[in-house]
Structure 1
Amino acid sequence: MTRYLLVPGRGIPFPGHWSRAWVRDHPEFRWAPEPPGPPYVAADRVAALHASISATDEPAILVAHSAGCLTVAVWAAQHTGPVRAALLVTPPYLDPAWAPAPGETVDVFIDQVPRGALPFRSIVVASRNDPMTTFEQFEAYARDWGPQLHDAGAVGHLDSRTGFGPWPDGERLARSLASPAQP
């Protein structure tokens, strides 16, 4: 059985969020880590993801939402492990030149998003009307990270607030990553 590790974003997903349904309904889907809620501390999230990935030699498919996608990018820049692929759902865009102002307190988490190619197969799920990322910025992540770009249409941030409880298309995308890549 393939293991799917769900990497949460900044906050705790609402009870109707698609990720909660996947964990509830499918034993092969597990949190990495259990959604801790804010504040988002990158080092803690990356360490928890690394512990989850390293818990066994069985290859994992990572399914990350929002800031969880950035956790995956940071993890991949710092670690290796048995990861077969990743589904990166609506990552928030941080400009490569962005830096917090002196003395600015932010619960953003990293000073820079890694922009190198990920060492495993991946799909970035892009929205046409995400409030945090333009479609062109999703395309920039796809160019930098080297994944396939999936245009999900006008789906907001693909969260409960924008009408997504169940998301069967997303589950199909995640499960497609368990198959060998097509040439």
Structure 2
Amino acid sequence: MTVRVLILPGLFDSGPQHWQTQWEQRFSGLHRVEQSDWQTPTCADWVLRLHDKVMASQRPVVLVGHSLACSLIAQWAQQYPEAAQRVRGALLVAPSDTEADSYPEGTTGFTPMLMNPLPFNAITVASTDDPYVSVTRASAFSEAWGSELVWLHKAGHINDQSGYGAWSEGVDLLFKLTGDPQFQHG
């Protein structure tokens, strides 16, 4: 059975050059979870929207979160442990530290950062120079979540501003979680 891949952008959504948008356009079976407020989000609203999308899926789900969406996934998994059993895995890219001074103001309910094991396979991808999370905190998140940790050297926030458009290495990581041949490199 194929999976349903849910694309979960972070704060301000993912623009047309962002790897999440490019993947969504390139591959079938990827669906963006649209939030009602990308500028000043409330965690409870984002969690409920994600929950609705997971529960509506007739197939197992793989979550692809960027930035604030990594926190969203951890919050949702804690609040809905039974529903989390529907998730085959999560790709957690550039997790933002919502407790850091560098994190933009305007979000509500995304702190504290949850440090509980995720009940599904996960891969965290972090950059050595992300302005929104330190190397120490990214390591701590990955360890707490029980995820595999993949480091990218000086990759910024792993977004379009950092030069990550189609991001083929990320597609390879997605294949590890889905097993779906459409994501197999080569």
Instruction: Map 1:70-89; keep pairs closer than 5 Å.
Output: 70-79=71-80, 80-81=82-83, 82-89=86-93
In structure 1, C-alpha distance between the alignment counterparts of 2:151 and 2:106, rounded to whole Å: 30
Match of 2:95 in 1: 91
- CA distance 1:111–1:49, shift in 2 (3 Å): same
Q: Distance in 1 between matches of 2:166 and 2:16?
A: 11
* Residue number in structure 2 paired with 1:134: 134
**Which residue of 2 is the match for residue 24 of structure 1?**
25
Quote the Cα distance in structure 2 between the aligned partners of 1:147 and 1:35: 29
1:56 deviates by: 2.4
Give, in whole Å, the separation in 2 of the partners of 1:13 and 1:62.
Answer: 15
**CA apart distance, 1:108:** 4.3
**Which residue of structure 2 aligns with residue 101 of structure 1?**
none
Give 1:23 deviation, angstroms: 0.8
Q: Which one has a larger percent helix, Structure 1 or Structure 2?
A: 2
Deviations 1:95-153 (A, max 9, x none): 49x9xxxxxx7324323122110000001101011011111211100111110001122
Cα distance between partner residues in 2 of 1:116 and 1:167 = 29
TM-score, structure 2 length as denominator? 0.86
Answer yes or no: is the 8 Å Cα contact 1:33–1:45 preserved in 2: no
Partner of 2:177: 177
Residues 1:109 and 2:109 aligned together? yes
Q: CA deviation at 1:16?
A: 0.6
Structure 1 distance, partners of 2:163, 2:109, is: 27
Q: Summarize deviations over 1:44-95 as a string: whole Å, max 9, x none.
A: 1111100110002411110000001010000001003210100000101144
How far is the alpha carbon of 1:35 from its aligned partner?
Answer: 7.8
The CA distance in 2 between the partners of 1:33 and 1:120, in whole Å, is 23
> Partners of 1:165 and 1:6 in 2: how far apart?
15
Q: Percent identity?
A: 30
Name the CA distance, whole Å, in 2 between partners of 1:133 and 1:10.
14
Match of 1:38 in 2: 39
**Which residue in the other structure is 1:52 paired with?**
53
Show structure 1 runs of 5+ residues with no match.
99-104
Question: Does the 8 Å contact 1:65/1:91 carry over to 2?
Answer: yes
Structure 2 gaps, min length 5: 180-186
